[in-house]
């Protein structure tokens, strides 16, 4: 690694962006460079090198149309981006980097030596295509060049210097660069279609030091009110290093999906520093996969439903299995008192199976007690209207 590449990587590690990298067929030196420069953990969330065909099939969840092409690089980057969302704290800037290439080998390849690099973020997709001059470099040289291109891509995503000379063969090799920008509406459509797993809405950019454990309050937030804010504050006071996060699912288990207008209106309530994540998962066992090692904040009414066997095919065994699966992902629950059928209920009123008792902790009434609800506020608004 020369001094120029090192300087670029130092700038990358100083940026707030964190990334998951998934590579196949080249750019292997880039991983060593990124990891050998101090503060690599500030950038790299995870790195995967797919050498076997089965590895790529498992990542994509399908057999790719072609292993080395523009479409496959974009798909790899998308999977890497979703993985980065799951591994990072809400509100952090993340990217998914996908690389696929075919370089000099033994026996020699028949077709062109080429590579495709993609970088996916919340609002954009960077694409780089390069066909190499066959026979101009050996395998090490081609891998070095593609590694430089990968670092250049990451630098562009991070918004840092990218002064890496690629030393392309004049008149033969030309780098093709494209950037797609996604509007907020396009991002929401990708969420509803299942293409991406979540969207962050926040004016604040969280850093790796903002918190060590997510404290997640899920709800419809129609509207967001003072009770929600005080509940999440109380919950965070019970979790040292807790990072407060609101979660809105665009998909509801018992109601039609939210429309784009509804999501926009509700997300606009969180533009003043609060962190909101919009997901497409209505069930807590799926939320736990999106937010591993997290604490979910729920009311006693939700806790009652969560532990009711009727929602698990009337099987208590199945219910306990699901809850244990949530616990394996490092998740637990803080339970607030809530009025249920005109009676105020607390965790003591919930029948918690012995196997999962340690997953539930009560939020003391001295920290939080409120009868305020979004339903009441909507009713009052209708009366006033």
Give the pLDDT confidence score for residue 274 in this predicted structure: 80
Q: In this structure, which topology does domain 3-181 adopt according to CATH?
A: Maf protein (3.90.950)
Q: Does domain 186-384 have CATH number 3.40.50.620?
A: yes
CA atoms within 13 A on the CB side of 228: 24
Token pair recorded at residue 34: 């990124």
User: Rg for the chain (alpha carbons), in Å?
Assistant: 24
Give the pLDDT confidence score for residue 383 in this predicted structure: 59
Looking up tokens 């005109």, which residue turns up? 342
Give the Å distances, CA to CA, from 164 to 149, 233, 352: 8, 46, 59
Question: Which residues of the chain does CATH 3.90.950.20 include?
Answer: 3-181
Give the pLDDT confidence score for residue 249 in this predicted structure: 92
* pTM reported for the whole predicted model: 0.90
Q: How far apart, in whole angstroms, are the C-alpha atoms of residue 44 and residue 46?
A: 6
Q: What is the mean pLDDT of each run of 10 residues along the chain (385 residues)?
A: 92 96 96 96 95 92 94 97 93 95 88 96 96 93 96 95 88 94 94 93 59 88 90 93 91 85 90 84 94 95 95 96 97 94 91 96 92 56 55
158 backbone dihedrals φ, ψ, rounded to 5°: -80, -10
Token pair recorded at residue 75: 């798909």
């Amino acid at each position: 690694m020369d001094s120029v590449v090192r300087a670029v990587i130092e700038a990358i590690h100083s940026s707030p962006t964190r990334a998951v990298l998934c590579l196949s067929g080249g750019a292997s030196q880039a991983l060593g460079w990124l990891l050998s420069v101090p503060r690599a953990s500030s950038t790299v969330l995870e790195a995967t090198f797919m050498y076997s065909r089965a590895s790529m099939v498992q990542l994509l969840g399908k057999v790719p149309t072609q292993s080395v092409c523009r479409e496959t690089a974009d798909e790899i980057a998308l999977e890497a981006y979703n993985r980065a969302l799951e591994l990072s704290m809400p509100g952090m800037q993340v990217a998914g980097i996908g690389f696929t290439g075919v370089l000099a080998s033994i026996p020699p390849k028949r077709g062109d030596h080429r590579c495709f690099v993609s970088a996916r973020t919340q609002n954009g997709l960077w694409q780089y295509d390069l066909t190499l001059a066959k026979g101009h470099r050996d395998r090490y040289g081609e891998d070095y060049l593609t590694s430089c291109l990968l670092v250049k891509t990451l630098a562009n995503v991070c918004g840092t210097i990218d002064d890496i000379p690629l030393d392309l063969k004049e008149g033969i090799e030309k780098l093709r660069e494209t950037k797609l920008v996604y509007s907020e509406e396009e991002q929401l459509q990708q969420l509803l279609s299942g293409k991406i797993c979540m969207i962050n809405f926040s004016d604040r950019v969280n850093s790796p030091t903002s918190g060590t454990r997510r404290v997640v309050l899920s709800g419809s937030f129609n509207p967001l009110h003072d009770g929600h804010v005080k509940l999440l504050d109380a919950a965070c006071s019970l979790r040292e290093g807790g990072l407060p996060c609101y979660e809105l699912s665009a998909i509801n288990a018992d109601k039609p999906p939210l429309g784009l207008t509804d999501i926009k209106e509700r997300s606009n309530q969180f533009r003043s520093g609060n962190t909101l994540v919009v997901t497409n998962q209505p069930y807590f066992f799926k939320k736990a996969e999106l937010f591993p090692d997290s604490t979910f904040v729920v009311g006693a009414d939700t806790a009652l439903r969560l532990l009711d066997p009727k929602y698990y095919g009337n099987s208590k065994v199945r219910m306990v299995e699901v809850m244990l699966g949530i616990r394996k992902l490092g998740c637990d629950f803080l339970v607030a008192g809530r009025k249920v059928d005109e009676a105020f209920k607390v965790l003591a009123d919930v029948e918690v199976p012995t196997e999962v008792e340690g997953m539930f902790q009560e939020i003391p009434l001295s920290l939080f007690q409120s009868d305020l609800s979004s339903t009441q506020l909507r009713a009052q608004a209708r009366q006033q209207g």
